[in-house]
Amino acid sequence: MNGGSAGTAATHDETLFELAQWLARVQQYSASHPACAQLGERTHRALSRSLAIASPLSIDVLKDGMSIEDVAVGHAAVRTRLAPHLHERGVLVLRFLPGATVAELTALIELFTLPVQTTFDRGGLRALASERGLARIQIEEIAHDISADERAAQRTRARLRTSFADVLRELLAKRAIRGLTGAELLELLDHPEIAVTILEEDPLGIAESLAGLCLMVRDEEQATGTELYPKLRVIILALSLPSHDRVLLGLPTLVGDFREALVWALDGLDESELARIALASFRAHATELDVTLYALSVAAPHDGRRLSTLRRVALHFYDLPSEDASASELVTVCAMNAGDVDSYWRERECLAPHAMRILGGRGAFAFSTSAAARDRASGAPPPDYLGDQRRVMSELVKMASRTRRFEQLCAKLPQTAVTFARAGSTESVLGIVDGLRGVTREECKELAKNTLREVVSPAVAGLLLADTDTTSADIEGEKLDDLTTTVRLLTALAPTVVFEQLELSESRKMRRIFIESLVAAGPRLLPLVRRKLHAPSWFVVRNALVILTRIGGTAADLLPVASHPNEKVRLEVLRSLRALPSDAQAMDFVAAYLTDPVQEIRQHSLVLLRGELLSAEGVARLERIAANEQESEDRRRRVVEALGRCPLDAAATALFTLLQPRGLLEIGSLRDVVAVALRGSPAPLGPGYFAEGLKSPAWRVRKACERAAGGGT
């Protein structure tokens, strides 16, 4: 990726993120929607920037990630949404050539929105792209080997698709009274996966299609008395989340029998099942709750059923991922209850308390029913009570330090600070801290310093840090500098509490401030950081590693976590090794990471490999890698060169072993590289082994050594 620079990686990450955003929006609306068209243009501009760096741009697709030139794309939207979406459709490599147009990208995104089964039935994305004439977009995919059973299933899907489409068209045009009946309808209901594929082939018309199927099922039940609804229910619940959204929002636009049939089908679901469908629509339209609430009022006209469904929707909020933008937006909007002026105030009251509880737990939303809170909501500027509290307490302590009663005041300050902290008056506690730090009388400085340690007890420090973490989202400029100074002071007095808040904080800004403050505390925190390396939570261990290397830690400190089961921790160990002085212990870790199951770790560990620091165990690991013909040629070459720099006799022995023939056929032999490494080996046995190679009865060994010595042809 042009040297793997950070700028290049960021450019490619942005391109794939824009593609993921565009695909998500097209799945909600359509490629021709104005909002989607704007995203398409943004994606094209981002792609043009990437193609200016790497042309063509080849993207490898895995189930849980994407990579460009072996560099993994780190954005969560790409790893969790785009990559699984393409992998499910059999894509292995997606390649963009220079000159790709917006029209070609739009055609590609439309192909991506096809259901998986439809994509495979039509020959795969590669064939579909060829049919669309996408000359500057290439797709490599898995081979579509179709068995006899799959061909039979394709014929069944094609037959049912044609029959269903024909009768649905007749029903919509009111040219027929009945749709599919009898054995044909039963066959469709008995194959819910086929029914789902047929219904989702036209995402924008899925509400009409499902309503038509519901109408057919209802009429057949009335005509024959056979209970078919349980099979229809399975099909409805098997639809994808975008389909659930479109079905619910498409309900109010239906008329006549189609509307009645779909309402009948949704009425057969229990509240928890209907809540799953409604939640999909709420997440897709977080900023337009009224749209979903109106559709839900049509699907569940009875107030009790509708409100019960919404209570179950609210319970699903607790399971939404906090890092997902759409989920956070939904919870935030639901928390902002508009009150009685809202047409759906009763519905919103079912959602608001749970949303506020979630945001309060995350420290992202402070809710109050007081008049001051209502004033803030109306835009009125609040009085600077908080600033006054801090200033008044600070001046009070400073004035007391100039009197003979200062000692009596200091005796009461620790308990006063606890009371203030428990009451949530953080600014008052900070005022006490400011006042004690500002004491200027020489005879009072020692007393003030000791009192400050007692005031900032672990309990008070924990409450202060928690409150500071909650209210720091929008702090910038001088206030941010003051906050940083305060955190550093708390770190000096209660580092354990700061570490605990670092583990709990959800603010990236505050985590960075906590880490910098802990680093500033210096080597005295080494015992605490070493204990944190044994924590059960991987992110606690990772934070400890970030701090360890910056306060005087050594490679020996990394021993407890070098084999950590979480790959993010092992990757942080590798970053730590890059910052620490290299020694034999560090090279043992690097050699072990050369065979790590994570490709990124294997790739970066190769850069840190230094042969002159290898131990006997590291030499054995490298020998196994060099002897493995399944490894890439470049990795084996780098390993052999490292063995050639090792002063241990074990390394020279390993090179001599690698020099020997392994069979009649050898693929990609590195014998010449091994011979050169053996010739320059600083190990005591190296010259003897090389001389023995020059006299070897094996022609290949002898010639490789002669070429290394400069005497062969």
CA distance 73 to 9: 8
CA pseudo-torsion sign 164, 166, 169, 170: negative
Please report the pLDDT score of residue 684 as a whole number: 93
**What is the b/e burial string over 499-518, where b = at least 16 CB atoms within 10 angstroms of the residue's CB?**
bbbbeebebebbbebbbebb
CB-neighbour burial class of residue 592 (10 A; exposed 0-12, middle 13-18, buried 19+)? middle
Strand partners, 93: 60, 140
Whether the CB-CB separation of 321 and 362 falls below 8 Å is answered with no
Q: Which two tokens stand for residue 463?
A: 């409450």
Q: What is the CB neighbour count within 10 angstroms for residue 423? A: 11
User: In the chain, what are the domain boundaries?
Assistant: 6-141, 157-321, 623-713
Instruction: Count the Cβ atoms, other than its own, within 10 Å of residue 458.
Output: 12
User: Which residues of the chain fall short of a pLDDT of 70?
Assistant: 1-6, 35, 143-161, 163, 166, 169, 171-181, 287, 322-326, 328-329, 332-333, 335-342, 356, 359-389, 392, 396, 403-405, 471-474, 663-669, 711-713
- pLDDT on residue 377: 42
pLDDT on residue 688: 92
What is the longest distance spanned by two Cα atoms in the chain? Answer: 101
* pLDDT, tens digit, 9 for 90 and up, residues 563-603: 888 888 888 888 888 887 888 888 888 888 888 888 888 88
Alpha carbon of 351 to those of 246, 307, 439: distances in Å?
22, 10, 51
Q: What is the pLDDT of residues 206-223, one digit of tens each?
A: 888 888 888 888 888 888
Is the Cα dihedral 704, 706, 711, 713 positive or negative?
negative
3-state secondary structure of 179: coil
The C-alpha atoms of residue 12 and residue 50 are separated, in whole angstroms, by 6
Residues shown for the chain? 713
Mapped onto helix, strand or coil, the DSSP state of residue 115 is: coil
Answer for the pair 517, 487: CB distance below 8 angstroms, yes or no.
Answer: yes
Residue 55, helix vs strand vs coil: coil
CA distance 429 to 413: 9
pLDDT score recorded for residue 64: 81
Structure-token pair, residue 413: 């300050």
Question: In what order do the strands lie in the sheet containing 65-68?
Answer: 71-72, 65-68, 57-62, 91-96, 137-141
Which helix (H) or strand (E) element contains residue 92?
strand 91-96
Contacts by 434-439, CB closer than 8 A, 24 or more apart: 434/390, 434/393, 434/394, 434/397, 435/393, 435/394, 435/395, 435/396, 435/397, 435/398, 435/401, 436/397, 437/489, 438/394, 438/397, 438/398, 439/397, 439/398, 439/401
Q: Yes or no: say if 330 and 359 are a contact pair by the CB < 8 Å rule.
A: no
Give the residue among 234, 190, 197 at the shortest CA–CA distance from 117. Answer: 197
User: Can you give the pTM of this predicted structure?
Assistant: 0.42
Residue 149 tokens, joined = 């059973």
Question: Where are any strands of DSSP class E within 514-653?
Answer: none
Helix H or strand E segment including 94? strand 91-96
Distance, in Å, from the CA atom of 286 to the CA atom of 207, rounded to the nearest integer, reads 21
Task: Please give the pLDDT value at position 156.
Answer: 66
> Tell me, what amino acid is at 466?
A
Cis ω on the peptide bond leading into residue 56 (within 30° of 0)?
Answer: yes
The whole-number pLDDT of residue 380 equals 41
